[in-house]
Every structure is written in structure tokens, then in C-alpha cells.
Amino acid sequence: MRRGSRKNRILDYWVGVPLLNLLATFRLRRKKLPENIRRIGVMCSPALGDTLLFSSVLRDLRAHFGYEVEIVHFCMKSNLAAAEIIPGADRRVVIDLTDPAATVKQMRAEHVDVLFDFSSWQRLTAFYSLMAGAKVTVGFTTAGQYRGRGYDLQVVHRADRHEVENFRAILQSLDIPTGAPPQVVVADGRPDQLSDTPDIVVFHLWASGQQSWLRQWPEDRWIAVAQQLAGPETVFAITGAPSDMVRTEPFVQKMHAAGLQAVAFTGTDGFRSLTRLLKRVRVVVSVNTGVMHLAAIVGAPTVSINGPNRNGRWGPVGPRAIGVEAPGEGCGYLHLGFNFDGQATDCMERITVEMVVAAAHAAEAM
């Protein structure tokens, strides 16, 4: 269920809400975890960034229950690249949120004792939690989403705290200790296309999802930042998904025309080669998206250009990460990732080249 797809959200609302609440009427509520837990199921949003942040509580669950309990991560094709590199789960089961019959069958076949759903707005994930056959289900009740009845134990999902803290609140409600930072694990592999480059700066220009252009920054400002960060041997790696190449390549040509060294970088093995690249760059400058979260988590000096996002809600989480926010009123309004209607449309334009350059230097110095 892609957050950026209006069609999917309409389907989720008009089918998910009545079906979920009808079925929930007949479920006997259980108010505590079972005594003998052998297998735990977990789910989170299919967004890549959300999945990377979710790694924090996945680690907390593993630390609390140990290796005597099996943890099964129900993930989707859209977030598999992130799920593959986060620690904590014993197995991953790939489900299709748009195929209810197959998904319910897959989830019931796992015979989980407890199911934790860390997604925040999808009614379908709440529906699947209800139908998974778990003895106890735990998840969010979110204002305006009508999904809380899908769970035996409900935790309020709040807009006034970072998503990592929302995730932790689910475990804290059950007295499970929290505090592990997000983490990714990627084994060393063969050198990438920039293996011999001593000075690499990563730019990630492209956002995804609904009205993604409202989270993107003007291309001329990226070039202006590059001119101020460039040294004699600096190569700018312009990252993006394979589908972004139609706009990445023209931007690389603009960088060349400005006298800058730049290459398009697209990993061919999920997030693995990108992660290896991010571990050895000088600095990463990115719009607020999954690549930004990945860079911050691996410890790269990271600058997030936020705009409609607020640092305290969706900012980078990492030891050398800085979020640049739009000045003035009316920005930083995104909560669930799609509440753009009636909001400011100039937030990214308010962020200046000088603000981003200063943040990049500060991140490098951390």
C-alpha cells in the first residue's frame, strides 16, 4: 500500500474501514501478552525510510526476547531493499497488501503468537493483523484513520514526536525496554564504480510519493552548493532509483557544464552497494527520503533538506546528521506523508544555498 498512491489510499479507506471495523466487532479482546511466546510477527510501513527507522524497535524486540523466540518480518516488495539490511528478524515473508486472500493465507501459515504492527495509517495492515491468527495483536490507533479496532492492544500514534519515538511507544506500553538506535548491516563486497575516488560527495535530489515535487529543491541551488563544496578531486555521486535515471542523467550533464565532476549512481543489489558507498563519503546532502535516513544511520555526515517535513517528526537519526528546515510559518506540516492539501507549497524554495552549505560544513565537523 504505497503512501504516495491516491488510488491505493482511496481503496484502503472505502474497503478497509468498513471491513476492518465489522470484523473487529466479533473479536474477543486480549489485554496482555501470552505467557509462552514462541514466535513474534512484525510489520511496518512499506516506505523505505520508515523501515530503516523501524530497525530500532526490531533490535529492542530481539534484545528483550532473545533468540529463543523467532521473529518473522512481514514486509513488501516496496520496502524489501531496506528490510534486507536491518538486523533483528530471523526470517522475512514478502506479502502483497493488495492481495488479501494470499496475504491472509501467508500470515496465518506462520502461526505467530504476537503480531506487532508498526504501520500508522493503513487500514489494510490493521485488517491483516486482525486476520493473521495471532493470539494478541498490537498496533497504533491514529487520529482520523479508523484502524485502532484491529488490535487487542492499542497505542496512540502522535504527530508531536519523531516516528522512532512512536515506534518505541508500542514497546513501552508493554514494559519492553527501548533505546536501540536504528541500524543497518551490510557485509563488505566488491568495489563500486567509485572505489578509487578519494573525495566523494553524495547528492540525492529526488523524493518519492504523492506530490513529491513539493519535497524537492531547485536544481540550480544544488549546483550552487556543489560549487562551494567542490575540491580538486571531488566527485559528486548523484543517487537515485533506476526509474530516476531519466532525470539524473540530465542533471549530471548540468553539473559537467558547470565544471564539476559528477556521476549517476544506482545500486544493482538493493541498498547494499549504496550503503557501502555512504560509509566512505565526505558528506551527503539529500531531500527527506529513504536514502537520507540510510546515510544518517550508517554514520555519514548527512544534511536533510526538509521543507514540508519537520526535523522533530521525520528528521535524520544518526550521530552526524543535521536537518535544515524552511524558515517562516506554515512548513514542517507533514505527519503521515500525504497531508499536502491546503498547505504551503513554497517550503523548499525558502531554504537557501547558504543554509545548506553551512549545514554541510557543520555535519563534516561533527
For residues 173 and 155, the answer to whether their CB atoms sit within 8 Å is yes
Phi, psi angle pair for 156, to nearest 5°: -70, 125
Tell me, yes or no, whether 134 and 234 share the same domain.
no
Rounded Cα distance between 290 and 294, Å, is: 6
Q: What is the pLDDT of residues 41-71, one digit of tens each?
A: 999 999 999 999 999 999 999 999 999 999 9
Q: What's the full length of the chain, in residues? A: 366
Tell me, yes or no, whether 209 and 301 share the same domain.
yes
Residue 123, pLDDT above cutoff 60:
yes
Binning pLDDT at 50, 70 and 90, where does residue 129 land? very high
Q: What is the pLDDT of residues 223-233, one digit of tens each?
A: 999 999 999 99
Q: Establish if 131 belongs to a structural domain.
A: yes
Boundary (domain end) residue, out of 172, 189, 212: 172
Residue 21, pLDDT above cutoff 70:
no
Could you tell me the sign of the dihedral formed by the alpha carbons of 139, 39, 269, 6, in that order? Answer: negative
Q: Establish if 20 belongs to a structural domain.
A: yes
List all residues 6 or more positions away from 60 whose beta carbon is below 8 Å from its beta carbon.
168, 171, 176, 177, 178, 179, 180
Region 275-288: mean pLDDT is: 96
Q: Establish if 181 belongs to a structural domain.
A: no
pLDDT of residue 169: 98
Region 303-307: mean pLDDT is: 97
Q: Establish if 179 belongs to a structural domain.
A: no
Boundary (domain end) residue, out of 172, 188, 210: 172
Q: Establish if 190 belongs to a structural domain.
A: no
Tell me, yes or no, whether 76 and 133 share the same domain.
yes
Tell me, yes or no, whether 105 and 220 share the same domain.
no
Could you tell me the residue range of the domain that residue 264 belongs to? 199-365
For residues 31 and 146, the answer to whether their CB atoms sit within 8 Å is no
Residue 262, pLDDT above cutoff 60:
yes
Residue 1, pLDDT above cutoff 60:
no
Tell me, yes or no, whether 315 and 361 share the same domain.
yes
Q: Establish if 191 belongs to a structural domain.
A: no
Overall domain count for the chain? 2
Residue 25, pLDDT above cutoff 70:
no
| Mean pLDDT (the chain, rounded) | 91
**pTM above threshold 0.85:** yes
Region 119-128: mean pLDDT is: 89
Q: Establish if 185 belongs to a structural domain.
A: no
pLDDT of residue 2: 47
Higher pLDDT pick, 3 / 259: 259
Tell me, yes or no, whether 227 and 159 share the same domain.
no
Tell me, yes or no, whether 166 and 278 share the same domain.
no
Tell me, yes or no, whether 259 and 166 share the same domain.
no
Could you tell me the sign of the dihedral formed by the alpha carbons of 42, 243, 10, 167, in that order? Answer: positive
Position of cell 525558502?
350
Tell me, yes or no, whether 213 and 105 share the same domain.
no
Tell me, yes or no, whether 161 and 204 share the same domain.
no
Q: What is the pLDDT of residues 71-89, one digit of tens each?
A: 999 999 999 999 999 999 9
Tell me, yes or no, whether 118 and 261 share the same domain.
no
For residues 250 and 257, the answer to whether their CB atoms sit within 8 Å is no
pLDDT of residue 18: 66
Q: Establish if 182 belongs to a structural domain.
A: no
Boundary (domain end) residue, out of 154, 172, 190: 172
Tell me, yes or no, whether 358 and 215 share the same domain.
yes
CATH label of the domain that carries residue 241 = 3.40.50.2000
